[in-house]
Amino acid sequence: MKLGILITTDRHAADVVGLTKAAVSKGHEVIIFNMDAGTKLLGNASFTELCKTKGVTMAFCDHSAGKEGVSKEGIPAEMVCGSQFNNANMMHDADRVINL
C-alpha cells in the first residue's frame, strides 16, 4: 500500500515521523507533501531526515515555502523542491491519504 501524507500545518512533526516509520516497518511506501504552514517543518531535522528512509518520498511546495519565509538551505537533496503538481501526483498514486 502507498500512504500519502499531506501536511498543511507545522504542529504534527512527531506524529508524521511516527506514522511514517510505522508504515515503512510494515512494508508500505509513504509519500509526503508539505505545503502552506507545513513547509515550516523543513527546519526540523528529524522530519526532513525521513526523506533518506527507504520507501519514503518527500516533496514540498516551493511557492508555499517562499510565502512562509522558510529557508531551503540545508534541506537534504533527496527531498524534492516542487509544486502542486507533486501534490497531485501523490493524490493520484497513494492508496490512502492523511491530511495533517
Residue type, 95: D
> pLDDT tens per residue, the chain (100 residues)?
999 999 999 999 999 999 999 999 999 999 999 999 999 999 999 999 999 999 999 999 999 999 999 999 999 999 999 999 999 999 999 999 999 9
3-state secondary structure of 57: strand
| Domains of the chain, first to last | 2-99 (3.40.1260.10)
- Cβ–Cβ < 8 Å for 62, 56: no
CB 56 within 8 A of CB 78: no
Of 31, 33, 28, nearest to 6 by C-alpha is 33
Q: Where are the alpha helices (DSSP H) in the chain?
A: 13-25, 45-48, 62-68, 84-93
pTM above 0.85, yes or no: yes
